[in-house]
């Protein structure tokens, strides 16, 4: 609306400058697609001409056929659905729990000091090592995988959200104290809204972590899901199936990342920041 | 001048840190009458802000007596600290909301302050759309919205450029006079202190002691900008300058 209102008369020089910017943008976009198409083409040609063994190297055509077969047998949505479910639940629980713990640690700096070494060690520990324990505790099923997805993002979420809370300047809190605010008011009215951008950034990182956790979880124990397909495909030497699953995984991970980024943009816009 | 609303008797303040203790304020006594504009000048780091913090109830004096009439004083900081995610309206209502005093009447009062001081057009704008001087004025209205009797101003102009600073000092002085507020201004700018105040208190270097007290009588209209041109202005400036200089 506002763009229509004011179309300022730019000088010819400025128009040329804008055009050059637009050309650059178009070039970058075109190159991105070209790179993808070129890779697929070379891969396909290499497989057809037997430069690589299509049995272990697969090819775009074989990969598409594998996806189609999964689709026709009705398995495709089942595997996607299960993995997506595990990831989303693990991610949401990890974020919720991580943020709650971060709030607790912000509230009590003493508690934060006490727990600091434990957090550092938990962060350094490869969570995958806990796999066997999780299977014993939560059973060989979806629950273990969700817990794995949760665990792997939990400590990172706690640490980055807490760092976000602590980065809110003392002076804004001082202002609230001069107005007579309680600690709860300082938190809900200043610290929490001011850390929304940091929290959203933490989410973008932990969404990737949840994928790692879920796929690793599915490697260890699963009867369905994309991680299961990858392991199964590897065991029966069906590399087409493995590659197809990885491609689907790429797409899903990208969609979820952009969903979080979109959410971030929406929230920030609504908050006017 | 009216009755005394601030009375400090022999107050001391000591900060404790792991590497030792620092005495910030040493047996300081002063009083402020209702409706008065008092400035505190002193070398930087002398404990001026500590005195304001004690007046605001953020710090307890280690010794001595501090007596304040009326409710919670309003505090204005060096930076406006407007909350980016709240509109100007949301920002000026912050204090009332925090204190649980937000109702139709207090809200109307806050909005009428915006109207009176020419910022009503921005009521639904966000802070980033305002200039530095306007933002600081909004910060003042946020403070006034809680209708405090006493205002504590902690170098509220020092983050602004020179021109904005002079204009805003003039405007804020007029606002405070019009609203009949008592004010204590902390500054390191001697000219600012003389031009705005009825009385200037000179503090020594740390620990802060009262070094001198100057009632300001200028033959000029009651406006900081015009008061700067009064014939007596330079005399006050020189006296206070020398008093501060002895410290170095």
- How far apart, in whole angstroms, are the C-alpha atoms of residue A190 and residue A176? 8
Is A193 within 8 Å of chain B by CB?
yes
Model pTM? Answer: 0.80
Q: Would residue B20 be called left, alpha or beta, if left means φ above 0 and alpha means ψ between -120 and 50 degrees?
A: left
Q: B28: how many CB neighbours lie within 10 A of its CB?
A: 26
What does the domain layout of chain A look like in residue ranges?
12-52, 60-271
Q: Which residues of B touch A (CB under 8 A)?
A: 56, 58, 72, 74-75, 77, 79, 81, 83-85, 87, 94-95, 97-99, 126, 146
- Chain pair A-B, CB pairs under 8 angstroms: 48
Answer for the pair A163, A202: CB distance below 8 angstroms, yes or no. no
Packing angle of the helix pair A196-220, A239-271 (nearest 10 deg): 160
Is A236 within 8 Å of chain B by CB?
no
| pLDDT for the residue A102 | 94
| pLDDT for the residue B142 | 92
Which of B94, B97, B141, B142 is the mutation pick for testing A, counting most A CBs within 10 A?
B94
Give whole-number Cα distances, A162 to A5, A99, A100, A116, B247, in Å.
45, 8, 10, 12, 45
| pLDDT for the residue B247 | 53
Chain A CB contacts of B94 below 8 Å: 179, 189
- How far apart, in whole angstroms, are the C-alpha atoms of residue B198 and residue B35? 10
Pick B126's closest partner by Cβ from A179, A194, A272.
Answer: A272
| pLDDT for the residue A6 | 54
Chain A CB contacts of B146 below 8 Å: 179
Answer for the pair B220, B232: CB distance below 8 angstroms, yes or no. no
Pick B72's closest partner by Cβ from A180, A272, A273.
Answer: A180
Which of residues 28 through 87 in chain A touch B, CB cutoff 8 A? none
| pLDDT for the residue A3 | 43
Q: Report how many helices (DSSP H) and strands (DSSP E) chain B contains, helices first.
A: 9, 9
| pLDDT for the residue A57 | 85
Distance in Å, alpha carbon of B143 to nearest chain A alpha carbon = 8
- How far apart, in whole angstroms, are the C-alpha atoms of residue A227 and residue A248? 11
Which parts of B70-211 fold into alpha helices (H)? 88-92, 94-98, 104-116, 132-144, 162-178, 190-196
pLDDT per residue as tens digits for the range A158-169: 999 999 898 887
Q: What is the ipTM of this complex?
A: 0.82
Distance in Å, alpha carbon of A98 to nearest chain B alpha carbon = 24
Pairing relationship of beta strands B74-76 and B150-154 according to DSSP bridges: parallel
Pairing relationship of beta strands B4-17 and B63-68 according to DSSP bridges: antiparallel
- How far apart, in whole angstroms, are the C-alpha atoms of residue B137 and residue B112? 14
Residue ranges of chain A whose pLDDT lies below 70: 1-8, 272-273
Mean of pLDDT over chain A: 89
- With CA atoms as reference, the chain B residue closest to A269 would be B85
Answer for the pair B90, B72: CB distance below 8 angstroms, yes or no. no
Answer for the pair B6, B31: CB distance below 8 angstroms, yes or no. yes
In Å, how far from its chain's centre is CA A96? 15
3-class DSSP state for residue A136? Answer: helix
| pLDDT for the residue A199 | 87
- With CA atoms as reference, the chain A residue closest to B153 would be A178
Backbone φ and ψ for B11, nearest 5 degrees, come out as -80, 140
Tokens coding B121: 């057009």
- How far apart, in whole angstroms, are the C-alpha atoms of residue B159 and residue A116? 37
pLDDT tens by residue, chain B, 248 residues: 578 888 888 888 888 888 888 888 888 888 888 888 999 988 877 788 888 888 888 888 888 888 888 778 889 888 888 998 899 999 999 999 999 888 888 899 889 888 888 888 898 989 988 888 889 889 988 988 888 888 899 988 888 888 888 888 888 888 888 888 899 999 888 888 888 888 999 888 888 888 888 888 877 777 888 888 887 878 888 888 888 876 54
Maximum Cα–Cα distance across chain B = 54
CATH architecture, domain A60-271: Orthogonal Bundle (1.10)
């Amino acid at each position: 609306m506002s763009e229509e209102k004011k179309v300022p008369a730019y000088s010819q020089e400025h128009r040329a400058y804008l055009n050059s910017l637009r050309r650059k943008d178009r070039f970058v976009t075109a190159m991105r697609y070209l790179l993808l198409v070129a890779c697929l083409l070379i891969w396909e040609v290499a497989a057809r001409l037997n430069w690589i063994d299509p049995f272990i190297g697969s090819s775009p055509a074989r990969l598409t056929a594998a996806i189609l077969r999964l689709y026709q047998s009705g398995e495709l949505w089942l595997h996607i659905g299960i993995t997506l479910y595990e990831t989303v639940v693990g991610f949401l629980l990890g974020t919720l729990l991580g943020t709650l713990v971060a709030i607790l640690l912000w509230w009590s700096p003493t508690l934060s000091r006490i727990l600091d070494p434990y957090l550092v060690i938990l962060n350094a520990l490869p969570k995958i090592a806990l796999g066997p324990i999780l299977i014993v505790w939560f059973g060989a099923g979806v629950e273990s995988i969700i817990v794995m997805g949760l665990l792997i993002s939990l400590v990172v979420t706690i640490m980055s959200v807490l760092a976000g809370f602590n980065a809110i300047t003392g002076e804004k809190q001082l202002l609230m104290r001069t107005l007579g605010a309680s600690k709860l008011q300082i938190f809900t009215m200043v610290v929490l809204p001011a850390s929304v951008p940091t929290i959203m950034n933490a989410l973008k990182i932990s969404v990737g972590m949840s994928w790692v956790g879920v796929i690793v979880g599915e490697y260890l124990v699963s009867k369905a899901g994309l991680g299961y397909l990858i392991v199964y495909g590897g065991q029966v030497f069906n590399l087409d199936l493995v590659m197809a699953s990885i491609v689907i995984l790429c797409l899903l991970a990208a969609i979820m990342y952009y969903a979080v980024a979109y959410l971030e943009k929406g929230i920030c816009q609504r908050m006017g920041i | 001048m009216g009755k005394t609303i601030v009375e400090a008797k022999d107050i001391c303040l000591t900060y404790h840190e792991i590497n030792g203790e620092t005495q910030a304020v040493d047996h300081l006594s002063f009083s402020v009458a209702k409706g008065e504009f008092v400035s505190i000048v002193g070398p930087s780091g002398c404990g001026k802000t500590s005195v304001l913090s004690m007046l605001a109830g953020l710090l307890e004096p280690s010794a001595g007596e501090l007596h304040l009439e009326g409710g919670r004083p309003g505090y204005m900081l060096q930076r406006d600290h407007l909350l980016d995610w709240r509109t100007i309206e949301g920002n000026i209502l912050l204090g009332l909301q925090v204190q649980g005093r937000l109702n139709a009447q207090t809200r109307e009062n806050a909005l009428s302050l915006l109207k009176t001081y020419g910022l009503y057009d921005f009521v639904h704008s966000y802070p980033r759309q305002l200039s530095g001087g306007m933002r600081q004025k909004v910060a003042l209205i946020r403070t006034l919205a809680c209708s405090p009797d006493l205002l504590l101003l902690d170098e509220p102009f020092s983050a602004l450029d020179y021109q904005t600073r002079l204009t805003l000092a003039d405007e804020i002085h007029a606002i405070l006079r019009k609203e009949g507020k008592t004010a204590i201004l902390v500054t390191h700018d001697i000219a600012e202190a003389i031009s705005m105040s009825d009385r200037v208190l000179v503090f020594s270097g740390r620990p802060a002691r009262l070094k001198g007290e100057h009632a300001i009588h200028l033959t000029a209209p009651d406006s900081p900008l015009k008061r700067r041109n009064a014939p007596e202005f330079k005399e006050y400036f020189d006296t206070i300058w020398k008093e501060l200089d002895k410290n170095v």
